[in-house]
Structure 1
Amino acid sequence: MIDLVPASEEEAAGIVRAHAQEGRALAISGGDTRSGFGNAVNAEDRLRSTGLSGIVAYNPGEMVMTAKAGTPLAGVAAALAENGQMLAFEPMDHRALMGTSGEPTIGGVFAANVSGPRRFVAGAARDSLLGIRFVNGKGEIIKAGGRVMKNVTGLDLVKLLSGSHGTLGFLTEVTFRVPPRAKTEETIVVSGLNDAEAANAMAAAMALPVEVSGAAHLPLTVTWKFLGGELPEGEATVLRIEGLPSSVDSRAAKLLSAMAPFGQVVRLDRAASRQLWQEIRDVAPYADGTARPVWRVSVAPGIGHQLVAALRLEAGVDAFYDWQGGLVWMRMEADPEADLVRRFVKALGGGHATLIRASAEARAGIPAFHPEEEAVALLSRRVKQSFDPAGIFNPGKMG
């Protein structure tokens, strides 16, 4: 595959126009850190955003940043940290899980709507996105939202492009919110709960006026893979509190007291808490250098443990839970068992099961993204036709 790395938005538009006129497919990529995610793209050329790099505008007082799409995520994070700000949605770094290299880009984060543990209280990546610039499948430069202009097309272009995985357009610039970063954090660890008991404990914690910003459950099969094996013995149900030091101390004490009836309870300090949630964010237990299938399943918070219990009767599966149990990370021992996973998701009330990692052979025969209902699929096809009439962007990516 030939990499095409434009140095300007206009150059990118010219490349797209030429490919559209010839009907030649383009793989769309940023830092290529999610290579192998989604279904294979049949293209000889790959259009990459890495030549479009740099922070365009940033006034910390406005809590808004504009950056070119190929700007390394690390550079964005460093600039925000210098000013006590952050990306609220806590984007995952896929490299260890996917076995890839390169540098994640801010455009790639929004194109894939990458969201981490704080997502269930702070929203997804797309909820922080205010404006975009992108090249559509005709080679036209489009501006929407943010500091540029209001969208008058009848479609929310900002939300549509976020999570489209490069199938609708080539992002060139993004404008997004950057709220203050918490001064400190602590994590309460409740030990010894099974999956169902943990779901009840997390629900109880979320009902308290203590502003929990992270809620996850780590069964025995994975606890030893976090914090270098230094978590307390037994299953770990972990609850994060963030904010000003005095507030965090007070709220953490209240949460500890409320969780004591559920099991043995300890507090992790800021350093240990940050390391733990980074490892949860990046799915550390399954970053094992293999191609064993990994699913990312989003369901109602009280349903996650039921899904895993049902699957364990039929297949070899390991799992842990984020988002108060509503996000289930599952690693299968052998076959992806796509039909089984999605059948059980539907039977338990619905959700989305996305195949994040699998061998090339497995991905060739399985839609990586959860199949859409017929009416939604029809709308998606119409949107795709509108944005990319020649069908050159990432054909087959969304499976």
Structure 2
Amino acid sequence: MSIFRPDTEAQVLDAVRWAVAEAQPLEVAGHGSKRGLGRPVQAAHTLDLSALSGIVAYEPEELILVVRPGTPLAELRTVLAGRGQCLAFEPPDLAPLWGGAPDAGTVGGTVAAGLSGPARLRAGAARDHMLGVTAVSGRGELFRAGGRVVKNVTGYDLPKLLTGSFGTLAVMTELVLKVLPAAELSRTLVLAGLEGRHAVQAMADAMGSPAEVSGAAWVPSDLGLPGIPPRTPSVALRLEGVAVSVAARLSHLTTLLGGRAATAVLEPAESAAFWARLRDAAPLVERPDLVVWKLSVPPMEGAAVLERVRRAVPGTLGWLDWAGGLVWLGLPPPAEAGADSQAAAQAAVVRAAIGGAGGHATLVRAPEPVRAAVPVFQPQPPALAALSARVRHQFDPKGVLNPGRMELGAAA
């Protein structure tokens, strides 16, 4: 097995051109912190982008950051915080979910996996903050798309297309990201004792109010998160901004929703700790035995979907984020005997729970044999699958970039 570790764009281009010429598939990785997400890659060689790191340009007044893909997210957070700014889509630190060290993730891996945190509700997803990209396609061609302006609508929106493509279309060598001012203050209103449709309705009413909620989640009685009353299912609603604005909006929300449940307020330190643990899926990190799924569904359906899975699979741990639109699930692991068939049965249960609600389910953490046997990503309808295949063929006709990562590919 060969490992290519380029530290320049030209070296990335040379490596991909070699792979194309020799028909040798490459695993594209940064620090490798997300290898457990997606199917096992079918490649004998690795293109390690960890040395292609660093900030190329930072223009705080223009809210623009240009960065190489191997740059650690922790480094970016520090630099941005020094200027009172942030990546507003609140990228999670999920490396510990797969047994890695905290803060091991890179900006390239986060964008390639399309990962966004609780602030997605208000700020949008990772793809909405991608302004431009420089990349090498699976044809061995260097291209640039987008630019350093917030409005750029010329041609296809390739930066958004590459976000969430898991390195299967092109190798990003430079990213242009939009940054935003960081919130001065964060406080969280907790509604204790709500669950099911009552919890979902409370989150919907909060999101429909002028309170500008930046995080809305429901947690069960057994999750053990900071500030949540013991053994009490609760809704958490985050408000961010300048102090006087947060206080006024908190008062409005309390008046609007306070008659439905007992209320409490998490002050800044406790609020930050709560949302950080939820963002990074800490309850599932602490249960490495569980098989982890992430479901994206219409927000009003989240509680019903979660309840269907919990009834079908006793011992399931789960909660709602994105006002009910994101369902995190931790399912008991299959027994060693017949693990593949049991995992397939669990996958069928999870995807059936979505039912006619619409949405998709992603297998986030499972042993490698399970990820090889069970569709990790939501199977696409035939027309969409055909379109996806045409796009992949246009960018990577020989299938040299991360083959097998998103679906079964040819053997390496």
Give TM-score scaled by structure 1 length.
Answer: 0.95
Does 2:280 match 1:282?
Answer: yes
Name the SS for the 2:180 alignment partner.
coil
Residue number in structure 2 paired with 1:352: 360
Q: What is the identity, as a one-letter code, of the residue corresponding to 1:312?
A: R
Whole-angstrom CA distance in 2 between matches of 1:158 and 1:121:
21
Q: CA deviation at 1:334?
A: 2.6
Whole-angstrom CA distance in 2 between matches of 1:73 and 1:386:
31
Residues 289 and 263 (structure 1 numbering): CA distance in 2 closer, same or farther, change over 3 Å? closer
Q: CA deviation at 1:195?
A: 2.5
Residue number in structure 1 paired with 2:337: none
Residues 291 and 394 (structure 1 numbering): CA distance in 2 closer, same or farther, change over 3 Å? farther
Q: Please tell me whether the aligned partners of residues 89 and 125 of structure 1 are also in contact (alpha carbons under 8 angstroms).
A: yes
Name the SS for the 2:56 alignment partner.
strand
Residue number in structure 1 paired with 2:389: 381
Residue number in structure 1 paired with 2:339: none
Q: Please tell me whether the aligned partners of residues 25 and 391 of structure 1 are also in contact (alpha carbons under 8 angstroms).
A: yes
Residues 150 and 180 (structure 1 numbering): CA distance in 2 closer, same or farther, change over 3 Å? closer
Whole-angstrom CA distance in 1 between matches of 2:274 and 2:48:
33
Residue number in structure 2 paired with 1:22: 22
Whole-angstrom CA distance in 1 between matches of 2:54 and 2:366:
34
Whole-angstrom CA distance in 1 between matches of 2:296 and 2:205:
20
Q: Please tell me whether the aligned partners of residues 291 and 357 of structure 1 are also in contact (alpha carbons under 8 angstroms).
A: no
Name the SS for the 1:258 alignment partner.
helix
Whole-angstrom CA distance in 2 between matches of 1:64 and 1:375:
37
Q: Deviations over 1:194-218 (max 9, x none)?
A: 2222111111211211101000000
Residue number in structure 1 paired with 2:139: 138
Residues 255 and 151 (structure 1 numbering): CA distance in 2 closer, same or farther, change over 3 Å? closer
Does 2:179 match 1:182?
Answer: no
Name the SS for the 1:80 alignment partner.
helix
Q: CA deviation at 1:64?
A: 0.7
Whole-angstrom CA distance in 2 between matches of 1:326 and 1:221:
21
Question: 1:111-190 alignment to 2 at 5 Å?
Answer: 111-147=112-148, 154-190=155-191
Whole-angstrom CA distance in 1 between matches of 2:87 and 2:247:
24
Name the SS for the 1:53 alignment partner.
coil
Name the SS for the 2:20 alignment partner.
helix
Q: CA deviation at 1:262?
A: 1.3
Residue number in structure 1 paired with 2:104: 103
Does 2:241 match 1:232?
Answer: no
Q: Deviations over 1:32-56 (max 9, x none)?
A: 1112110011111111211111111
Residue number in structure 1 paired with 2:332: 333
Does 2:93 match 1:93?
Answer: yes
Whole-angstrom CA distance in 1 between matches of 2:96 and 2:104:
12
Q: CA deviation at 1:291?
A: 4.3
What is the percent sequence identity of the aligned residues? 41
Q: What is the identity, as a one-letter code, of the residue corresponding to 1:190?
A: L
Name the SS for the 2:181 alignment partner.
coil
Q: What is the identity, as a one-letter code, of the residue corresponding to 2:148?
A: R
Residues 344 and 289 (structure 1 numbering): CA distance in 2 closer, same or farther, change over 3 Å? closer
Name the SS for the 1:313 alignment partner.
helix
Q: CA deviation at 1:341?
A: 1.3
Residue number in structure 2 paired with 1:315: 313
Whole-angstrom CA distance in 2 between matches of 1:42 and 1:354:
20
Q: CA deviation at 1:150?
A: 6.8
Q: Please tell me whether the aligned partners of residues 191 and 235 of structure 2 are also in contact (alpha carbons under 8 angstroms).
A: yes
Does 2:232 match 1:268?
Answer: no
Q: Please tell me whether the aligned partners of residues 34 and 109 of structure 2 are also in contact (alpha carbons under 8 angstroms).
A: no
Q: CA deviation at 1:361?
A: 1.9
Whole-angstrom CA distance in 2 between matches of 1:364 and 1:60:
44
Whole-angstrom CA distance in 1 between matches of 2:34 and 2:15:
23
Q: Please tell me whether the aligned partners of residues 73 and 104 of structure 1 are also in contact (alpha carbons under 8 angstroms).
A: yes
Whole-angstrom CA distance in 1 between matches of 2:74 and 2:333:
35
Whole-angstrom CA distance in 1 between matches of 2:21 and 2:152:
30
Residue number in structure 2 paired with 1:218: 219
Whole-angstrom CA distance in 1 between matches of 2:129 and 2:33:
22
Q: Please tell me whether the aligned partners of residues 292 and 359 of structure 1 are also in contact (alpha carbons under 8 angstroms).
A: no
Q: Please tell me whether the aligned partners of residues 86 and 181 of structure 1 are also in contact (alpha carbons under 8 angstroms).
A: yes
Unaligned runs of 5+ in 2: 335-342, 408-412
Q: CA deviation at 1:99?
A: 1.1
Name the SS for the 1:348 alignment partner.
helix
Q: Please tell me whether the aligned partners of residues 133 and 159 of structure 2 are also in contact (alpha carbons under 8 angstroms).
A: yes
Residues 338 and 55 (structure 1 numbering): CA distance in 2 closer, same or farther, change over 3 Å? same
Unaligned runs of 5+ in 1: none
Q: What is the identity, as a one-letter code, of the residue corresponding to 2:348?
A: D
Give TM-score scaled by structure 2 length.
Answer: 0.92
Residues 71 and 27 (structure 1 numbering): CA distance in 2 closer, same or farther, change over 3 Å? same
Cα-Cα RMSD: 1.6
Residue number in structure 1 paired with 2:338: none
Q: What is the identity, as a one-letter code, of the residue corresponding to 2:228?
A: L
Q: CA deviation at 1:187?
A: 0.3
Residue number in structure 2 paired with 1:299: 297
Q: Please tell me whether the aligned partners of residues 195 and 234 of structure 2 are also in contact (alpha carbons under 8 angstroms).
A: no
Residue number in structure 2 paired with 1:257: 255
Does 2:77 match 1:77?
Answer: yes
Whole-angstrom CA distance in 1 between matches of 2:406 and 2:390:
15
Residues 257 and 2 (structure 1 numbering): CA distance in 2 closer, same or farther, change over 3 Å? farther
Name the SS for the 2:375 alignment partner.
coil
Q: Deviations over 1:273-321 (max 9, x none)?
A: 1111111101111112524211100000110111122223322322100
Q: Please tell me whether the aligned partners of residues 166 and 393 of structure 1 are also in contact (alpha carbons under 8 angstroms).
A: yes
Whole-angstrom CA distance in 2 between matches of 1:180 and 1:150:
21
Q: CA deviation at 1:71?
A: 1.0
Name the SS for the 2:218 alignment partner.
strand
Whole-angstrom CA distance in 2 between matches of 1:333 and 1:60:
46
Residue number in structure 2 paired with 1:371: 379
